[in-house]
């Protein structure tokens, strides 16, 4: 109780026998008016403080997307329009005409949309259309950066088909092809290199896709995460890779794209031991998450390890190369189910 309130109480006489309740009511009323001498008569009420982010990683605030009623994760497509359509239909996201029919469904691709297959450009364009259609109809489609996307922006082409190079000629101009940094590249590869170099059309499109995404209590990443990545900060990882791709930053995020980076590691994709699982559990606890979903390493079927703490969803769906099964992972609350 401040001095002003005590003075007021001394000057007021409560009726003899007034109970404790009456006193409490009076004190509460005075408390509501405390400091009134500093208020302007016509002052607007103070704006409510912004809500705190759902999670704060060690590098600053990190946005956690809310958990939807139904969430579906899709693994590596690798340049196959046929596999892409089949996976989206398996998820209940689109119909035979590629129209969004999933309503509020949220779909997450864990990267490696391109390379190996012939349909790279068609895959990217199809996903762009479906993502836009999903937003208009109350759903969402999120695309993560995989090691193959980062490699293309870096001018490194891993098993790109002849058509995969040729198709990007329609995406660049003659001026683009004469850029100084491209003159040493073989002519048949130059159009793709121009379309994906930092700051270009498709590099900017890729830059808007995160490397790591948290939806509800699930962490999505192409290769995996280690404690050092969490210490660096998920928001920092996304910003460094995205800014380099978009051309905003000239600094190539080499360590993040290297063999120990989140786009390449396979720590939990083969046979993680007890110590690996303990590390994973501690890392997920730090992120306030229950599980991690990864692609990158081909599995015979979608499966989990470390008591369901990690799910591996790359089944080699490209029918021309790996001929793996079309499978997707459905998450509904605590229930995680491969759809086969």
Interval 173-193: pLDDT, tens: 999 999 888 989 999 999 999
State the pLDDT at residue 51. 38
Which contiguous run of DSSP H or E holds residue 194? helix 187-196
Helix (H) or strand (E) holding 107: strand 106-109
Three-state DSSP state, 14:
coil
Give all domains of the chain, ordered by start, each with its CATH number.
3-38 (no CATH), 55-339 (3.60.21.10)
Residue 340: per-residue pLDDT: 96
Do the Cβ atoms of 138 and 132 come closer than 8 Å? no
Chunked mean pLDDT (size 10), the chain, 340 residues: 45 42 39 40 37 45 84 98 98 98 98 97 98 98 98 96 96 92 92 97 97 97 96 95 96 95 96 94 95 98 98 96 96 97
pLDDT at 62: 58
Beta bridge partners of 330: 72, 337
- If DSSP codes are grouped into helix, strand and coil, which group holds residue 60? strand
Angle between helices 3-11 and 20-33 (to 10 degrees): 130
- Positions annotated as catalytic residues are 148
Residues recorded for the chain: 340
Tell me the three state secondary structure of residue 182.
helix
């Amino acid at each position: 109780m401040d001095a002003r309130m005590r003075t007021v109480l001394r000057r007021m006489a409560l009726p003899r026998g007034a109970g404790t309740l009456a006193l409490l009511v009076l004190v509460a009323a005075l408390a509501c008016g405390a400091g009134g001498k500093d208020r302007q008569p016509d002052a607007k009420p103070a704006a409510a403080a912004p809500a705190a982010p759902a999670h704060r990683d060690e590098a600053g605030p990190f946005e956690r997307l809310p958990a939807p009623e139904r969430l579906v994760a899709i693994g590596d497509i690798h340049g196959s329009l046929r596999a892409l359509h089949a996976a989206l239909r398996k998820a209940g996201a689109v119909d035979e005409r590629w129209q969004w029919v999933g309503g509020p469904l949220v779909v997450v691709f864990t990267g490696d949309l391109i390379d190996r297959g012939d349909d790279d450009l068609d895959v990217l364009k199809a996903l762009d259309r479906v993502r836009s259609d999903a937003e208009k109809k109350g759903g969402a489609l999120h695309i993560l950066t995989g090691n193959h996307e980062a490699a293309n922006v870096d001018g490194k082409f891993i098993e790109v088909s002849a058509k995969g190079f040729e198709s990007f000629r329609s995406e660049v101009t003659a001026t683009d092809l004469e850029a100084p940094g491209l003159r040493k590249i073989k002519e048949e590869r130059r159009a793709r290199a121009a379309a994906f170099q930092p700051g270009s059309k498709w590099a900017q499109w890729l830059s808007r896709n995160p490397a790591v995404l948290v939806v509800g209590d699930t962490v999505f990443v192409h290769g995996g995460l280690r404690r050092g990545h969490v210490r660096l900060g998920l928001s920092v990882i996304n910003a460094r890779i995205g800014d380099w791709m978009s051309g905003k930053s000239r600094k190539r995020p080499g360590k993040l794209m290297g063999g120990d980076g989140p786009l390449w590691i396979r720590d939990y994709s083969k046979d993680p031991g007890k110590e690996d699982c303990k590390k994973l559990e501690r890392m997920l606890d730090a992120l306030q998450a229950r599980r991690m979903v990864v692609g990158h390493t081909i599995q015979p079927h979608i499966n989990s390890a470390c008591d369901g703490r990690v799910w591996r969803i790359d089944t080699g769906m490209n029918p021309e190369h790996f001929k793996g099964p079309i499978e997707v992972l459905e998450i509904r609350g605590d229930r995680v189910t491969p759809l086969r």
